[in-house]
Chain A
Amino acid sequence: MRPCPTITPRERRVFPGKTLRWTAAAVLLVALPVARAEKPWETLVDLEGKTHRPWRTPGTKAVVLVFTNVDCPIANYYQPQLRQLQQKYAPRGVRFFQVHSDPAVTPEAARRHVRQFHISMPVVMDHHQQLARALRAKVTPEVFVLDGSGKVVYRGRIDDTYVDYGRKRPRPRHRDLVEALDALLQGRPVPRRQTKAVGCLIVYEEPLEEP
């Protein structure tokens, strides 16, 4: 039986068990040395086997990681928009990546998805959920904007078209990803650093540890 990772930090504080405490301690011990090593997003291998080191690529001003899935309708709704954003921002030094953190999505399924939705950005398979775990991604589509130094400056929704499941604005009121990128590229502080992404929830193979 594989556990279904529904135990979240919030609940754990409500029922702190002995085992959980020990697990947390163990995880902390293991995680500490890792934290000093390279971040998992510094080297990204795409579906074609090509290795990307965006922060070692000249001209990189920002990196956008989009957590996605092949069959999440909300993530797919944004695919045409993501393609347009990439076309617009790539020449200005923004590197876009899409990340599959669902182990059930095979590379073949991901390639089919790339063809069907004309995805033009590199697609990264995160089958061990290292990227998702390191960034604590919760939802597809959730975007993470990292600046030139590798710091997360924005996380959350692409825009606010989806207010909730089945509750959609005809047009977004806030284009949060665009606002974040524009601010970053113009050297201004990002207006909203974090928003709530609406979509399909990422299921972790092992529960996320407490931050």
Chain B
Amino acid sequence: MAWKCSVPVGLLVCGLVVASQAPGEEPPNFNQHVAPIIYRHCASCHRPGQVAPFSLLTYQDVRRRSLTIQAVLHSGYMPPWKPVDDQGMFANSRKLASQEKATLLRWIQAGCPQGPADQKPPQPKFPDKWYLGKPDLVVKMPQPYRVPASGPDIYRSFVIPLDLPEDKWVRAVELRPSSRQVVHHALFFYDTTGQARRRDGRDGQPGVPGMDVPISGTLGGYVPGTIPYELPPGLAMPLPKGADLIIQTHFHPTGKEEVEQSELALYFADRPPQRTLVPFQVPRMFGRFAKIDIPPGEKNYVVRGKLTLPTDVELISIGGHAHYVCVKMQMTATLPDGTKKTLLRIDDWDLNWQDRYYYRKPLFLPEGTVLETVLVYDNSADNPRNPFDPPRRIRWGLESFDEMGSITVLAVPAREKDLPKLVAGVYRHLDLGYVPRLNAQQRREFRRWMAHFAPERGQRIAARLFLRLDRNKDGVLQAEELPEQARQRILLRWDFNENGQLDPEEIRALWKAVSKPPKSS
């Protein structure tokens, strides 16, 4: 049958089922039923000047795309929303309610009736420039970056010197790409080491190539369709004075050359937050110590990580990270009473849609809750996203064709006084290089908890060494922070990536060598 493959059969069958559910009923029409759904869920991106490739504002716009809409609704590609089984717990959800989806499908099935002319809905209004209103600071990529018309996707990090004279606290960040169609997504970081600044432009173009860029902390991200998110009152992300801002952008060539020069708006808090955000990963360090080593052809390679919460916490947001051959990820919380909660479940992991998911209201988890992450990788030829054809052995690494994986949780201690205990408990391996700043008293308490949580000699040494040496609290040891008499020797031996400093995993390797191997968490 010649036409079998052009339109999936399942699609037609589903369409018919939907249509046949209510035989006598009037089909939905555009003006009364469909337009409100499209305006609410699609038009914020599908309008001129936005990221989506075409507009969905008028009846004609939607009608001429109706079959494509039908197809992407069935495939689940649109609206882009990866979590499953999330029961409306995320504030930034883009998911269509099943009834809304059914209305759209029934409308298309019925031949896209326009409906009564006097019921034409007003065009939706959108904010002109910045969604969150007037920003406190707007910065721009110092130089435009040219994205070629074709070729593979590009990851590049752009360094924006901020030269802030004082520490700031960031409530929200909003990105405005100059060429929206070519920017697939972007992540925001800051760097206090000056390393990123030094590496900027070394290949003759603005920015640093790839995903491997020195970072000291994170400021969120941008995915198409993201509604800029403002942290709940009393919470903010630190942005230390002198830090450089980093925009790590994923470009996908569009078929014509594009020039990108993003603008970024920052919204500051008036005063330091009352409660401290503690980001942590399970497994730690993007799975650096999970010994990720995926044989070619392996379809179901599983990586697990576990962490027991040392205090009561409230979860603010959650998000995953992995590269191309990861296919699934899930984090489950097992409460002390045995109840299980799914915190995040993604069954079709796609690096292109990595997003952060904000809980509608902070999710309370008691002390003793076990967080478990399960990541599944498919390194077979059947995985179209596999970067290698034929498949090759893939190991942990920072480059995009290496693999990694973890789920990052942004939490606050339920009681702020528990901060040192929480930090010691989740950073007992000092893995992320992004330890919240602690004052002198908190540091003393942190050390006490560290000794409690990580009694092994090596880890105790590590904690002490780290806290003592890392004077600027950026999670890495710069050459100038190392004891002068041993500096050359240490760097020669342990600075594996020769970037002139000890990154967290290098520090870790050093401890491992000077101590007996620590128990796994």
Whether chain B is bound by chain A comes out as: yes
Contact assessment for B112 and A4 in the assembled complex, using a CB-CB cutoff below 8 Å = yes
In the complex the two chains form, what is the Cα distance from A60 to B7 in whole Å?
A: 33
In the complex the two chains form, what is the Cα distance from A195 to B2 in whole Å?
A: 10
The residue on B at minimum CB distance from A202 is B67
Contact assessment for B66 and A170 in the assembled complex, using a CB-CB cutoff below 8 Å = no
Interface residues of A in 43-91 (CB under 8 A from B): 71-73, 76-81
Is the CB of B100 closer than 8 A to any CB of chain A?
no
Contact assessment for A170 and B387 in the assembled complex, using a CB-CB cutoff below 8 Å = yes
CB < 8 Å A-B pair total: 122
Contact assessment for B71 and A165 in the assembled complex, using a CB-CB cutoff below 8 Å = yes
Chain B proximity mask over A175-203: 1 for CB below 8 Å, otherwise 0: 00000000000000000001111001111
Contact assessment for A118 and B256 in the assembled complex, using a CB-CB cutoff below 8 Å = yes
In the complex the two chains form, what is the Cα distance from A52 to B520 in whole Å?
A: 72
B149 to chain A, nearest CB (A): 5
Interface residues of B in 29-72 (CB under 8 A from A): 53-54, 60, 63-68, 70-72
Contact assessment for A173 and B389 in the assembled complex, using a CB-CB cutoff below 8 Å = yes
Is the CB of A14 closer than 8 A to any CB of chain B?
yes
Contact assessment for A78 and B255 in the assembled complex, using a CB-CB cutoff below 8 Å = yes
The residue on B at minimum CB distance from A169 is B384
Contact assessment for B64 and A104 in the assembled complex, using a CB-CB cutoff below 8 Å = yes
Is the CB of B6 closer than 8 A to any CB of chain A?
yes
Is the CB of A163 closer than 8 A to any CB of chain B?
yes
Contact assessment for A138 and B150 in the assembled complex, using a CB-CB cutoff below 8 Å = no
B370 to chain A, nearest CB (A): 34
> Chain B contacts of A171 at CB under 8 A?
152, 389
The residue on A at minimum CB distance from B78 is A165
Chain B proximity mask over A83-122: 1 for CB below 8 Å, otherwise 0: 0000000000000000000101000000000001110000
Contact assessment for A6 and B67 in the assembled complex, using a CB-CB cutoff below 8 Å = yes
How many chain B residues have a CB neighbour from A under 8 Å?
Answer: 49
> Chain B contacts of A200 at CB under 8 A?
65, 68
Contact assessment for A194 and B149 in the assembled complex, using a CB-CB cutoff below 8 Å = no
In the complex the two chains form, what is the Cα distance from A78 to B16 in whole Å?
A: 34
A34 to chain B, nearest CB (A): 20
> Chain A contacts of B78 at CB under 8 A?
165
Q: Which of B6, B63, B80, B111 makes the CB contact (< 8 A) with A196?
A: B6
Chain A proximity mask over B334-359: 1 for CB below 8 Å, otherwise 0: 00000000000000001011000000
Known contacts A11-B16, A79-B255, A80-B149; A197 and B6 CB within 8 A of each other: yes
In the complex the two chains form, what is the Cα distance from A1 to B60 in whole Å?
A: 11
Chain B proximity mask over A5-35: 1 for CB below 8 Å, otherwise 0: 1111111001000000000000000000000
In the complex the two chains form, what is the Cα distance from A5 to B3 in whole Å?
A: 16
| Most chain A beta carbons < 10 A, residue from B6, B80, B324 | B6
Is the CB of B9 closer than 8 A to any CB of chain A?
yes
Is the CB of A164 closer than 8 A to any CB of chain B?
yes
B104 to chain A, nearest CB (A): 12
The bracket for how many chain A residues form the interface is: 35 or more
Contact assessment for A73 and B53 in the assembled complex, using a CB-CB cutoff below 8 Å = yes
Q: Main SS of chain B's interface residues?
A: loop
Is the CB of B465 closer than 8 A to any CB of chain A?
no
Is the CB of B296 closer than 8 A to any CB of chain A?
no
B278 to chain A, nearest CB (A): 33
> Chain A contacts of B80 at CB under 8 A?
166
Contact assessment for A194 and B64 in the assembled complex, using a CB-CB cutoff below 8 Å = no
Contact assessment for A196 and B5 in the assembled complex, using a CB-CB cutoff below 8 Å = yes
In the complex the two chains form, what is the Cα distance from A200 to B69 in whole Å?
A: 9
Contact assessment for B255 and A6 in the assembled complex, using a CB-CB cutoff below 8 Å = no
> Chain A contacts of B3 at CB under 8 A?
8-10, 136, 138, 211
A157 to chain B, nearest CB (A): 10
> Chain A contacts of B63 at CB under 8 A?
2, 4, 203
The residue on B at minimum CB distance from A164 is B75
Interface residues of B in 493-510 (CB under 8 A from A): none
Interface residues of B in 389-409 (CB under 8 A from A): 389
The residue on A at minimum CB distance from B152 is A170
Is the CB of B320 closer than 8 A to any CB of chain A?
no
Is the CB of A167 closer than 8 A to any CB of chain B?
yes
Contact assessment for A138 and B75 in the assembled complex, using a CB-CB cutoff below 8 Å = no
B33 to chain A, nearest CB (A): 14
| Most chain A beta carbons < 10 A, residue from B3, B78, B389 | B3
A38 to chain B, nearest CB (A): 23
Known contacts A4-B108, A165-B77; A211 and B67 CB within 8 A of each other: no
Contact assessment for A170 and B254 in the assembled complex, using a CB-CB cutoff below 8 Å = no
> Chain B contacts of A202 at CB under 8 A?
67
Interface residues of B in 58-108 (CB under 8 A from A): 60, 63-68, 70-72, 75, 77-78, 80, 108
Is the CB of A158 closer than 8 A to any CB of chain B?
no
> Chain B contacts of A5 at CB under 8 A?
111
In the complex the two chains form, what is the Cα distance from A116 to B2 in whole Å?
A: 35
The residue on A at minimum CB distance from B324 is A170
Is the CB of A139 closer than 8 A to any CB of chain B?
yes
> Chain B contacts of A117 at CB under 8 A?
149, 255-256
Contact assessment for A77 and B384 in the assembled complex, using a CB-CB cutoff below 8 Å = no
In the complex the two chains form, what is the Cα distance from A169 to B324 in whole Å?
A: 10
Known contacts A2-B63, A73-B254, A138-B6; A163 and B350 CB within 8 A of each other: no
Is the CB of A168 closer than 8 A to any CB of chain B?
yes
Is the CB of B514 closer than 8 A to any CB of chain A?
no
Chain B positions within 8 Å of A, measured between CB atoms, are 2-3, 5-7, 9, 12, 15-16, 53-54, 60, 63-68, 70-72, 75, 77-78, 80, 108-114, 149-150, 152, 181, 253-256, 324, 350, 352-353, 384-387, 389
